[in-house]
Structure 1
């Protein structure tokens, strides 16, 4: 009888444990679903944010106050002066422009963000900037970059080592939107969305000759 009582007690405890485990599994499943949904919503918000900034560009390197009280007119004149009038068949139009706030006074890089009225003008600006190489304005080095979210910037920075490898191997490449590396090889182009995968691939390559008529170049 004592043994039976002990067995009954063990059986009851096992039943209780199984119910608790089942409850915990249900809660974990629910939490995992919530986390997955939150992750999806964050990616969706990030995508919408970058779509809203599709026609935006950043100018990096201009000292504070260079733009004066009318940043829109200032940027329109700067583009023509730095990139040349031939870059724009007609007048380049800026919808709005503003100075991105710095966390500390005098902090570098100092950034002006502007939104172009026409998206093709953004493409012309980036292409022309790459063609000209190092740009200067009033003896200051300046750079043009697409205006993207911090999350997308982090994803693009993950390709930094891969881009350095492409340079060292003399392989033409470009970083496509949102975060895809295009590498030109003799047997055709390859596209990578995983930074570790492209690094492994490039490290396995022999030192290939540069393709005729092509230069190693990168695009931010």
Structure 2
């Protein structure tokens, strides 16, 4: 009996020692878990701050890029090579030809011009657009207005002049494409204002939509 009790004592002591080791490990694991949770919370907070800062920087960068393009126009449809390596002089002489000299009070000053930086288009591809910086903002606005009022043609090809927006602004504005088509079909007057706000004139009221979803809901109400 004594030997059996001695064996039980030894096993109990072993179990007790193992239990102490396990308890210590659990305590260490809990402490590490608490530390990891604290560090994760700190990282999540830092990440949220970085995201917020990144959004602010992105907004400022987009604003700066937009301001740098403020005097630019985009000329679409001019065949490749027509500028013969002298795009600024070409655009300077092109503008009065497209818009007719009688519509212009004086020669429009073009600071610089270039094709969009992408591989040269082949004969079967759409020619690259020409980006031109107009010296005076008022003259740039005048060119856009005249281009909307007149059909522009160069050597038999239809030419279009658009504002030169950033990629983000263009993406936002494209979101209203289907909405604007629906408004045209319903003969509702609208203006897409910068950067991407749709102003609709309907029944002597002016409504402004900041997102395509808002405009779609308005069209749905018109249909009903």
- Runs of at least 5 residues in structure 2 that lack an aligned partner in the other structure: 1-15
2:99 matched residue in structure 1: 83
In 2, Cα distance between equivalents of 1:152 and 1:50: 9
2:143 matched residue in structure 1: 125
Q: CA deviation at 1:85?
A: 2.0
Structure 1 residues 13-162: aligned runs within 5 Å: 13-103=29-119, 105-106=121-122, 107-132=125-150, 134-162=151-179
54-63 vs 73-82, which moves further: 73-82
1:204 matched residue in structure 2: 221
Structure 1 residues 182-193: aligned runs within 5 Å: 182-193=199-210
Q: How many residue pairs align between the two structures?
A: 205
Q: CA deviation at 1:196?
A: 1.4
- Runs of at least 5 residues in structure 1 that lack an aligned partner in the other structure: 208-220
Structure with the higher helix share, 1 or 2 = 2
CA contact (8 A) 2:80 2:127 kept: no
1:218 matched residue in structure 2: none
Distance 1:206 1:8, change over 3 A: same
CA contact (8 A) 1:87 1:125 kept: no
* Helix, strand or coil at the partner of 1:162: helix
* Helix, strand or coil at the partner of 1:184: strand
CA contact (8 A) 1:159 1:195 kept: yes
CA contact (8 A) 1:88 1:121 kept: no
* Helix, strand or coil at the partner of 2:146: helix
Q: CA deviation at 1:13?
A: 4.2
Q: Give me the CA root mean square deviation.
A: 2.2
Q: Highest Rg: 1 or 2?
A: 2
CA contact (8 A) 2:121 2:127 kept: no
1:176 correspondence with 2:202: no
